[in-house]
Amino acid sequence: MKQFAKLFTALDQTTKTNAKVEALAQFFRESEHDQDKLWTVAILSHRRPKRTVNTTLLRHWASEEGSIPLWLFEESYHVVGDLAETIALTLPPDFEEQDQSLTYWIDFIKSLGKLEEEEKREKVKWAWRQLNYAERFIFNKLITGGFRVGVSQKLMVRALAQYTGIEENTLAHRLMGDWTPDDTTFHDLILSSDPMEDLSKPYPFYLAYALDEGPEDLGAPEEWQAERKWDGIRGQLIVRGDELFVWSRGEELVTDKFPEYAVLAEKLPNGTVLDGEILPFKDGRPLSFNLLQTRIGRKNITKNILKKAPVILMAYDLLEWEGQDIRQKPMEERRKLLEYAVAQCNEEVLMLSERLQFDNWEALAEERDKSREYDSEGIMLKRKDSPYRSGRKRGDWWKWKIDPMMIDAVMIYAQRGHGRRANLYTDFTFAVWDGDLLVPFTKAYSGLTDKEFREITAWVRKHTVERFGPVRSVTPHHVFEIAFEGIRASNRHKSGVALRFPRINRWRKDKPKEEANTLADLKAFLNA
Amino acid sequence: MSLLEFRKEGIYCPQADVYIDPWRPVKRALITHGHADHSRWGHQYYLCTTSAMPVIRYRLGDINVETIDYGEKKSIHGVQFSFHPAGHILGSAQIRIEYKGEVWVVSGDYKIEDDGFAEAYEPVQCHSFITECTFGLPIYKWKPQQEVFDDINSWWQKNKEEGKVSVLSGYSLGKAQRIIQHLDTSIGQIYTHGAVENVNEVIRSQGVKLQDTIRVHQGLNKKDYIGNMVICPPSAMGSAWIKKFKSASLGVASGWMMLRGARRRRAADRGFVLSDHVDWEGLNTAIEASGAERIFVTHGYTDIFRRWLAEEGYDAQIVETEYEGELTEMSDKTDSNEEE
Ligand SMILES: [Zn+2]
């Protein structure tokens, strides 16, 4: 546990990728227990021990052990925003030294499952008394199940590659699938080779730059291919050796997360690699990106999830065909092959990203203005004679995003922030006019400077009408410009609409509240 | 008539006709310490401790200020005033007010631990105690400062070995000097941002010993900083100024660094938990040591801390003030009149 705690502290203390990889590699080198290494790999790839104690009990025991009333523990939790951390902070600082392995503590947590509540309580309190602050925090994280360390699977794989001398793609392959440290060993999982691993190897993604001005400077429109920009997860779908592999842009293998694609293993010929967008899609329309995100976060993909957020692959490009790497062929040639491949496959789950017809840039601008009708984020421009490059290289691929929608709204509720900002009001609820009434329609927080937050906080304190816990209603007075990316009708909201990515764009000190927008103005965006 | 009242201008003693740390301009102001939210501009008369005066005068310019030593008594219209060390920053005081046997203490900002630089906090007995609660939650528990300085010095040593500059932020008045005093100068030189060095100069000229520091200036070369320490105010961290230093490791010293979320939100490499305010234990210790039955909480987690005190059997009330604790100190208003 000491070595893992040291690793965790090192990872937590840096934002730099290289330092994280170095800390991990050092841990792998120094750790004396192979099983601890395996558990570390498991934890960093979101494989956690089953939850054996519910969090309500943990909160009670922590408040007992910390000698504070439960309400004070809960208030502290509200400020900290993380249960494992709140417990570690409120427990008495004294502890008895121990030097058990990470695996020991994980087994300890697993053994709690079959105990009576009273025994669990004694055991958990005993554990807290053995551990120092960092170890307690980790213990609590393991017991509550949510371990966010700020290390992607990719970084972990890079460190493991440094330590073992095995190639990264190979390791990524070895780590995929349904394993837990209970049914394998570090040696069997990581160090032994698997004949399938070369088959899964993806190509590096080519990434587009954002076009800040219009496309006029790109030259002749006929040299360009335009498609809609879809808001999903960029992915690479590989069929080789009758096997299917799906990689996300983060270069993580996500095959298991998208069982919908399984059918393509048979329908696409071996030696096919597609670049496309993993897009939640139903009844002929893309669904909200949030649905996809909740899906990614789940360990098990249930029937219900598959029904609520089914995905398709919106194919953009073809990188390998009949076992040949065709990335150096011009876009136009690859496109023809892609159209052929998608047509031959003839499966609903594989769609072709349509090309837009335009004779001049004005016509394309008009298409861009229609982006919201298609639930798209704007336009992608790709040079017709360009190869498929690696990484982000300027010149051949551009994304031309739509401008956000804006509305002027009146602030009516304010809520305290967390942590350093816990004394500031940082979360606000905004309303628009419906006759004489102000109808709340969204919450928004980011977008103000620290100075503006202090200014608005001082104002909120002086103009509070009512308090509800951490929330205050305030005299309607200040107008803010709210930017958002999308809007849809919603019965669950009083205003009848729900926004996507709402944020504060600026504080409209120049506008009296009477001049804020109306609900009718807001609803007009629904048909825009 | 209450001995102290809470008015829109600030905390007021009607019998003596004086304010304590008022936030609007008044005729006579008694000042606990030199931070911007406690010593404001525009009063016709200031009274503060002898050691707090130079910085206050430096910040506020040509003001009409009288000084008083710790423990010395001053009578105004029959009310006895005295100033007692608050341990917050150099010259900081708790102000004791006594009239006809009734005693109040306005503690300003304070901390219990002796930091080896500010005059060490002394408990003062009273009936009514006015206290901050910037860190009035049981999650805020400071480690002994030596452990924190050991961490800072080993971070510096490690950066030096990696050929990096160490840049550490702490507000210019108080935190910066406390850090400078505890740095291990066998590792390297200490450079300072102008805002910090200006305060250093004021403090040295009043005869206080402070480790040697060098002001960052145009004439220095990028490589002069390598392996050395630079102390700057928090506002400099996000500015163009920081670009002077090639390959720097950035640190922040603040009580807010207690929380992982706060550490991660700041674009710094390291967060050191170091505060000049009392932590949870310190608050409870100070309140108990004051012997007071009536407690007024001014700034910080007031709602929560008041409820805690009420449950502990105190007559506890919230006073809405315009003090901001470490928030103001983070924004560091002392920078405004500096070059750099
Ligand atoms: Zn202060």
Residue B193, domain CATH: 3.40.50
**Last residue in a domain, options B253, B272, B291:** B272
CA distance B15 to B81: 12
Give residue A147's pLDDT.
74
Q: Of residues A112 and A299, which shows the higher confidence score?
A: A112
Tell me the per-residue pLDDT of A415-447, one tens digit each, with 9 for 90 and over: 887 666 667 888 899 999 998 899 999 988 777
Task: Give the residue-averaged pLDDT of A208-237.
Answer: 90
CA of B35 to the centre of ligand 1 (A): 5
In the reported structure, the alpha carbon of residue B6 is separated from the centroid of ligand 1 by a whole-number distance in angstroms of 20
Tell the CATH superfamily of the A405-527 domain: Nucleic acid-binding proteins (2.40.50.140)
**Domain A2-144 superfamily per CATH:** DNA ligase, ATP-dependent, N-terminal domain (1.10.3260.10)
- Is residue B135 domain-shared with residue B149, that is, in the same domain? no
Kindly provide the ipTM of the predicted complex, given to two decimals.
0.91
User: From the CB of residue A476, how many other CB atoms can be counted at a distance below 10 Å?
Assistant: 17
CA distance B24 to B6: 13
Mean pLDDT of A331-338: 96
pLDDT of B158-178, one tens digit each? 999 999 999 999 999 999 999
User: Among B170, B171, B231, which Cα is nearest to B35's?
Assistant: B171
Mean pLDDT, rounded, for A73-77: 93
Average pLDDT estimate for A225-252: 89
Q: How confident is the model at residue B267 (pLDDT cuts 50, 70, 90)?
A: low
Contacts of B264 in chain A (CB under 8 A): 12, 15, 150
Q: What's the mean pLDDT in B322-329?
A: 59
Cβ separation of B139 and A450 shorter than 8 Å? no
CB-nearest to B304 from A66, A75, A458 is: A75
Residues B11 and B134 in one domain: yes
B112 plus B231 within the same structural domain:
no
Give the distance from residue A12's alpha carbon to the nearest chain B alpha carbon, in angstroms.
8
Provide the CATH number for the domain formed by A206-401 in this structure: 3.30.470.30
**Least CB–CB distance from A76: residue in B138, B299, B311:** B138
Task: Please check whether residue A476 is in contact with residue A441, taking contact to mean a CB–CB distance below 8 angstroms.
Answer: no
Please determine, for residue A177, whether its predicted confidence score (pLDDT) is greater than 70: no
Residues B208 and B260 in one domain: yes
- Measured between CA atoms, the residue of chain A closest to residue B250 is A14
- The span from the CA of A229 to the CA of A380, in Å, is 5
For ligand 1, the distance from its centroid to the CA atom of residue B108, given in whole angstroms, is 7
In chain A, what are the domain boundaries? 2-144, 206-401, 405-527
pLDDT band for position A306 (cuts 50, 70, 90): confident
Same CATH fold assignment for domains A206-401 and A405-527: no
Confidence band of B328 (pLDDT split at 50, 70, 90): very low
| Predicted local confidence at residue B333, as pLDDT | 33
Q: Do B138 and A72 touch (CB under 8 A)?
A: yes
Best mutation target, B260, B306, B312, B329, to test chain A (most A CBs within 10 A) = B260
Asked whether residue B262 falls in the same domain as residue B285, the answer is no
Q: Which of B223, B240, B272 is the last residue of a domain?
A: B272
Q: How confident is the model at residue A129 (pLDDT cuts 50, 70, 90)?
A: very high
Q: B139 and A13: CB-CB below 8 Å?
A: no
Q: In B, which residues are within 8 Å of A71 by CB distance? A: 307
CA distance A363 to A368: 9
Residue B246 domain flag: yes
Residue type, A331: M
pTM score, whole prediction: 0.71
How far is residue A251's CA from residue A232's CA, in Å, rounded to a whole number? Answer: 15
Average pLDDT over residues A197-220: 84
Domain around B52: 5-139+276-335
How far apart are alpha carbons B93 and A318 in whole angstroms? Answer: 73
pLDDT in tens, A262-295: 999 999 999 999 999 999 998 888 887 767 777 7
- Encoding tokens for residue B70? 């710790």
Q: State the nearest Cα–Cα gap between A525 and chain B, in angstroms.
A: 34
Cα A56 to Cα B328: distance, rounded to the nearest angstrom: 37
**Among B251, B272, B293, residue at a domain's last position:** B272
pLDDT, residue B31, reads 97
| pLDDT of B331 | 35
Please compute the mean of the pLDDT values over residues B114-135 and round it to a whole number.
95
Do B187 and B199 fall into the same domain?
yes
Residue A156, min C-alpha distance to chain B (Å)? 20
Model confidence pLDDT, tens digit, residues B132-153: 998 999 999 999 999 999 999 9
Q: What's the average model confidence in pLDDT over A94-108? A: 91
Residues with CB under 5 A from ligand 1 (ion): B 35, 109
Q: Is residue B75 part of a domain?
A: yes
Are residues B123 and B222 part of one domain? no
Distance CA A381, CA A370 (A): 16
Residue A361 distance to chain B (closest CA, Å): 39
Q: What residue has token string 């206080």? A: B208
Helices assigned H by DSSP within chain B = 53-60, 145-161, 175-182, 194-205, 234-237, 260-265, 280-290, 302-311, 326-331
> Residues B56, B181: one domain?
no
Contact A86 B139 (CB under 8 A): yes
| pLDDT score of B335 more than 70 | no
- Closest residue in A to B140 (Cα) is A89
Give the integer Cα–Cα distance in Å for A235 and A212. 25
- Mutation target for A interface from B327, B328, B331: give the one with most A CBs within 10 A: B327
What count of other Cβ atoms lies within 10 Å of the Cβ of residue A164?
15
Percentage of chain B modeled with pLDDT above 90: 78
Q: Which of A124-133, A260-269, A371-380, B39-48 has the lowest mean pLDDT?
A: A371-380
The domain that contains B111 carries what CATH number?
3.60.15.10
On the question of pLDDT at B113 being above 80, the answer is: yes
* pLDDT given at position A40: 93
**B338 pLDDT tier (thresholds 50, 70, 90):** very low
Question: Is the predicted pLDDT of residue B340 greater than 80, yes or no?
Answer: no
The rounded Å distance from CA B89 to ligand 1 centre is 7
Q: pLDDT by residue (tens digit) across B183-204?
A: 999 999 999 999 999 999 999 9
Query: Long-range CB contacts (< 8 A, 24+ apart) of A328-336?
Result: A328/A387, A328/A388, A329/A387, A330/A384, A330/A385, A330/A386, A330/A387, A331/A225, A331/A382, A331/A383, A331/A384, A331/A385, A331/A386, A331/A387, A331/A388, A332/A225, A332/A384, A332/A385, A334/A388, A335/A225
Nearest chain B CA: its distance from A15 CA (Å): 6
| Contacts with B304 from chain A: Cβ below 8 Å | 72, 75
Asked whether residue B111 is domain-assigned, the answer is yes
Query: Is B259 in Cβ contact with A420 (below 8 Å)?
Result: yes
| Over residues A44-73, mean pLDDT | 91
Chains A, B: CB pairs < 8 Å: 80
Note the pLDDT of residue B336. 30
Domain check: are B173 and B93 in the same one? no
Gap from A23 CA to chain B (nearest CA, Å): 14
Report which of B71, B130, B135 is spatially closest to residue B104, judged by C-alpha positions.
B130
Tens of pLDDT along B277-293?
Answer: 999 999 999 999 999 99
Nearest C-alpha in A relative to B300? A423
Q: Is residue B340 part of a domain?
A: no
**Mutation test of the interface with chain A: which of B8, B133, B137, B151, choosing the one with the most A Cβ atoms within 10 A?**
B137
Q: In terms of domains, do B167 and B286 share one? A: no
Kindly state whether residues B285 and B268 are assigned to the same domain: no
Beta carbons of A80 and B322 less than 8 Å apart = no
**What is the rounded distance in angstroms from the CA atom of residue B90 to the CA atom of residue A248?**
56
Based on the fold, state whether residues B21 and B167 are members of the same structural domain: no
Name the percent of chain B in helix, strand, coil, to the closest 5. 30, 25, 45
- Residue to mutate among B259, B280, B308, B333, with most A CBs inside 10 A, is B259
Q: What is the mean pLDDT of residues A131-144?
A: 94
User: How many structural domains comprise chain B?
Assistant: 2
Contact A90 B324 (CB under 8 A): no
Interface of B with A (CB under 8 A): 134, 137-141, 254, 256, 258-267, 269-270, 299-301, 304, 307-308, 311, 320, 322, 324-325, 327, 330-331
